[in-house]
């Protein structure tokens, strides 16, 4: 039924665009394993993302992220992989992921992202950098990452979609029906 869909799918895109929730729904629909790169990084580091950034710096986080992405891209099993919002900005990550998988970028309007993250910016240190109002910082970082995200094969705006509707949209795109 889903013969046209590559064994590995990568969901990338800005923080709170729905990567993990939609990725999980998609993995269930396709009966594939779901993997979240942030969870793998936290497991390797033995501490949460906020502490990795605060104690070891962003460069250390990005180095771990690169290791995790390379390992997942090289693993043979079919999977749905959700990356952290900054992963695709790194060219090495883009190179290995684009060879191994179909890359789908999820996006959402800045005000929708702001609403979704307003309870948990502690776990997202990139949003508190520069002490800007949340929505302004989101718009700024999105703009900086525009070209990186544009390298994905497909983009789905989840602003007005439920998790299951977004997963359905991604499936239809992968099946060539949209």
- Cα separation, 66 vs 15, in Å, equals 18
8 A C-beta contact, residue 108 and residue 157? yes
State which residue has the least CB distance to ligand S3P.
84
| Nearer CB in complex with ligand S3P: 15/103 | 15
**Nearest distance in Å: CB 76, ligand S3P:** 25
Binding mask 105-144 for ligand S3P (x = CB under 6 A): -------------------xxx------------------
Contact between 40 and ligand S3P by CB under 6 A: the answer reads no
Tokens, residue 166: 């977004």
Closest CA to 77 of 48, 106, 49, 100: 100
| Nearer CB in complex with ligand S3P: 16/174 | 16
- Cα separation, 63 vs 175, in Å, equals 34
Contact between 85 and ligand S3P by CB under 6 A: the answer reads yes
Contact between 38 and ligand S3P by CB under 6 A: the answer reads yes
- Count residues binding ligand S3P (CB under 6 A): 10
Going by DSSP bridges, is the β-strand pair 33-36/79-82 parallel, antiparallel, or unpaired? parallel
Query: Where are the alpha helices (H) located in the chain, listed in sequence order?
Result: 19-30, 37-45, 49-51, 58-74, 91-100, 110-117, 134-144, 146-149, 163-174
**Nearest distance in Å: CB 65, ligand S3P:** 7
| Nearer CB in complex with ligand S3P: 14/32 | 14
Give me the phi and psi of 101, to 5 degrees please.
-150, 165
| Nearer CB in complex with ligand S3P: 15/97 | 15
Which residues make up the interface to ligand S3P (CB under 6 A)? Answer: 15, 19, 38, 49, 84-86, 124-126
């Amino acid at each position: 039924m889903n013969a046209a869909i590559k064994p590995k799918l990568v969901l990338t895109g800005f923080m709170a665009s729905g990567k993990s929730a939609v990725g999980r729904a998609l993995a269930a629909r396709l009966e594939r394993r779901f993997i979240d790169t942030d969870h793998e990084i936290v497991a390797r580091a033995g501490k949460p993302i906020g502490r990795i950034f605060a104690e070891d710096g962003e460069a250390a986080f990005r180095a771990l992220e690169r290791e995790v992405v390379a390992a997942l891209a090289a693993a043979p099993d079919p999977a749905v992989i959700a990356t952290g919002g900054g992963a695709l900005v790194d060219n090495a990550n883009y190179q290995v992921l684009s060879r191994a998988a179909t890359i789908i970028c999820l996006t959402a309007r800045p005000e929708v992202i702001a609403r979704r993250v307003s309870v948990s910016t502690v776990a997202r240190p990139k949003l508190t950098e520069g002490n800007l109002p949340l929505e302004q910082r989101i718009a700024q970082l999105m703009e900086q990452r525009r070209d990186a995200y544009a390298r994905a094969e497909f983009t789905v705006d989840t602003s007005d979609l439920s998790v299951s509707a977004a997963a359905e949209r991604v499936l239809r795109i992968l099946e060539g029906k949209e």
